[in-house]
Amino acid sequence: MQEYSVLIGGRAGEGINRASAVLCHLLARLGRYVYMYFDYPSLVRGGHNFAVVRSAGRPVRTHRDRVDAVLALDQATVDRHAGALASGGVVVYDASVVKRADGIPVPLGGILEEERAPAITRNAGLVGAFCRIAGVPWEVVEEVFRAEVPERFVDVNLRVVRRAWESVEERGRIERGSMATLPVLTGNEAIALGLVRGGLETYVAYPMTPTSNILHFLAEFAGRSALTVLHPENEIAVILVALGCAYAGKRAAVGTSGGGFCLMTESLSLAGQAELPVTVVLGQRPGPSTGLPTHSCQTDLLFACHAGQGEFPRLIAAPADADEAYAWAARVLDLSWRFQVPGILLVDKTLCEGGYSCSFDPGTEPVPPPELPGGVPLDPYLRYRVTENGVSPALPAGTPGAVVKANSYEHDEAGITTEEAKTTVRMQEKRRRKGEALAFALDAYETVVVHGGDGARAGVVAWGSTAGAVLEAAAGLPVRVIRPIVLEPFPAGAFRRAVDGLERLVVVEENMTGQLEQVMRVHGFFADARVRRYDGRPFTVEEMVARLAEVV
């Protein structure tokens, strides 16, 4: 089969996320590209969790409405998803729990009892049965489970998997791909690796869906490196600690979501005024307030653009998948440091917790050179020296011979508080020039990505994770797909070149008010039609095909 999708479902606490990760790695070992979408309520126990793992012989970055197999650990999975089966699809279920189903029963209750295995291994047994049904070779199954399951649990899991494997018969065979096995990473893992590649020295966060796993991932990594990972008591403390690290000369990043970012906005202004670099990984989820804490959206773009009082430059980038998340996490961190501005990596739950086959080369992003104090005038040292490009020479606190100030008040070049009018104008204009220098430096990057449609008259604009569904749906249409990755400072020149010659422009967003469309309008670009979704769920391929057909 050229393309194959599997849905696995159960209750929270039954290991659906872990089982779907194993499925991703199993299909990747067959030389296929994979994508994983994970859907769950904000409950520690109970509720309905499910994941869709899609694989193909070409890159895939979103899921479809239809699946080829449903793996059910409970009755709710059968009741909710059996109708999503494609023609010829199959339901594989735990016969000890599911009582109403047409499909292939697996006697997991008896297997666990005979193997004296814990209940959590039911998910492994169900995956094992599916592998036999789908013709995945046993050596691949064993290899993946040994790699993905903690060593102390491998033996009991493999006993259950083997028994479940033997309880069913093969019904078909998923085709092997021709490519080498690609690593499968979540967006959060790619972001974490990108931050490290960009020179990260300290990561600070309070756990908040959907960026929590960056904290967990880097905490494990920190034990084997010089990286410092901190978990303070709240989001206000998080960003203040990060700014303290920046003052001490350490590259710092924080992770949060909308509610936490609200608490950080005053400190974001402090970063703007004191010219302290900090990178914020802002994982969007639907609001207002708590909203839908475990679902996805694109509703915080304008918030990110305008957060904080006063006027100061900032950098905002919105990658589309794990490969771009890796690259732009490194770039945002580095550019934030070089231009002494706040940087925001604007992502969402779909990207953060989705799984992707990754093809990035870990060496493609250069490791930033160390910042050396040589050549910086120390007598006197002026922390906020007025320069042609607005970027002042920064030294870490404690540098011998230099008094390094950080001031939240308006200040002069030495960092001394002032309310004098002419000095205020000079410093405001200095900070503005930093923003202009940042915008000029961004010209070296592909800030707007254009896909196909050289002779097209219509263009589809998408940003962030919506690009996956848009690119796939647009493949059969005479359109040009335009993806701005940098959203502030908005790359108006690159965007103008991208839309040149188009007669019709459609903007796709996962929000109700058209936030990117509003940003575009400020820069003189106007949409003729729009496609929006705002129920907390991402677009599927089929939905995007139908929605684009209405407006293109």
**Distance between CA 209 and CA 204 in Å, rounded?**
15
Query: Which tens digit of pLDDT belongs to each residue from 496-545?
Result: 999 999 999 999 999 999 999 999 999 999 999 999 999 999 999 999 99
**Distance between CA 305 and CA 284 in Å, rounded?**
14
How far is CA 116 from its chain centroid? 39
**Distance between CA 291 and CA 12 in Å, rounded?**
20
Given a contact cutoff of 8 angstroms between Cβ atoms, the answer to whether 202 and 218 are in contact is no
Query: Could you tell me which of 7, 13, 29, 3 has the C-alpha nearest to residue 145?
Result: 29
How far is CA 412 from its chain centroid? 39
Q: SS3 helix, strand, coil % of the chain, rounded to 5?
A: 40, 20, 40
- pLDDT of 44: 80
Judge residue 13's burial from the number of C-beta atoms within 10 Å of its C-beta, 0-12 exposed, 13-18 middle, 19 or more buried. middle
- pLDDT of 26: 96
Query: Which tens digit of pLDDT belongs to each residue from 406-461?
Result: 999 999 999 999 999 999 999 999 999 999 999 999 999 999 999 987 789 999 99
Which residues face 46 on adjacent strands? 12
Structure tokens at 526: 């106007």
Whole-model pTM?
Answer: 0.96
Query: Which tens digit of pLDDT belongs to each residue from 463-490?
Result: 999 999 999 999 989 999 999 999 999 9
Query: What domains, with CATH codes, occur in the chain?
Result: 3-166 (3.40.920.10), 184-357 (3.40.50.970), 448-551 (3.40.50.920)
**Distance between CA 480 and CA 470 in Å, rounded?**
11
Structure tokens at 184: 């499968």
Q: Is the peptide bond before 150 cis (omega within 30 degrees of 0)?
A: no
Count of C-beta atoms within a 10 Å radius of residue 387? 15
**Averaged pLDDT score across all residues of the chain:** 94
What DSSP line would sit under 286-334, residue for residue? --STTSSTTS-----HHHHHH-SSS----EEE--SSHHHHHHHHHHHHH
**Distance between CA 327 and CA 324 in Å, rounded?**
5
**Distance between CA 48 and CA 66 in Å, rounded?**
19
pLDDT surpassing 70 at residue 331 = yes
* Size of the chain, expressed as the number of residues it contains: 552
Query: Which tens digit of pLDDT belongs to each residue from 168-217?
Result: 999 989 988 878 899 999 999 999 999 999 999 999 999 999 999 999 99
Backbone angles phi, psi at 400, to 5 degrees: -55, 135
pLDDT surpassing 70 at residue 371 = no
How confident is residue 294, by pLDDT bands cut at 50, 70 and 90?
very high
